[in-house]
Amino acid sequence: MKKTLRIRFFPWAGVLLLLLLAVNCGYRLAGSGARLPDYIKTITIPSFDNKSTRYQAEQFVTIAVRQEFIKRSRLQLVESRDKADSLVEGEVLEFDVKPISSSKEINANLYKVRILLAVRFIDLRQDKLLFEGQNINFTDTYEIATGDFFSQETRTLQDIAEKFAESVVTAILENF
């Protein structure tokens, strides 16, 4: 008499197997800084310098870069340079707003916004420059449905700062 081996397949076992394979295959999100040197565990990001004519532009950019590093990397943000293993420092060099289109009422409704920055990522433990971006030009257009641009400028500047932070943090972390 022949015995037959029956294997019961549980649907959740397949899902579990796929999850285990995905975790163990080394898959990582691009730009997460997973390959940073092990000793770099903390980062400080002091307020960017503002050399532009836009009051408080550096505050928007600094906040956005800090938030993006917290969201995207394993690094712990610290306030003191003495407690940090790494440093991001930067400068807002220029900030321009130019109307590029107007409505029937001759009010500008489409603006070109340009921000020019310089950013450096430094290994403080080895006093080594890990990334440098000089004259990073970020340009975007914004349509204003009602009112004038300047009444909505703060929200627009926040949006631009967030988009800039996303791109510059990705550039820094993709080096690792």
Q: What is the pLDDT of residues 57-87, one digit of tens each?
A: 999 999 999 999 999 999 999 999 999 999 9
Domains of the chain: 31-174 (3.30.160.150)
Strand locations in the chain (E): 42-44, 49-50, 76-77, 86-102, 108-123, 128-143
CB 110 within 8 A of CB 144: yes
Pick the closest to residue 68 from 138, 166, 164 (CA basis): 166
What rounded mean pLDDT belongs to the chain?
80
117: which 2 tokens? 């920055």
Q: Is the confidence at residue 128, as pLDDT, over 50? A: yes
CB 97 within 8 A of CB 120: no
pLDDT higher than threshold 90 for residue 15: no
Strands 76-77 and 49-50: unpaired
Contact in structure between 43 and 88 (CB atoms under 8 Å): yes
pTM for the predicted model, two decimal places: 0.74
CA distance 115 to 139: 6
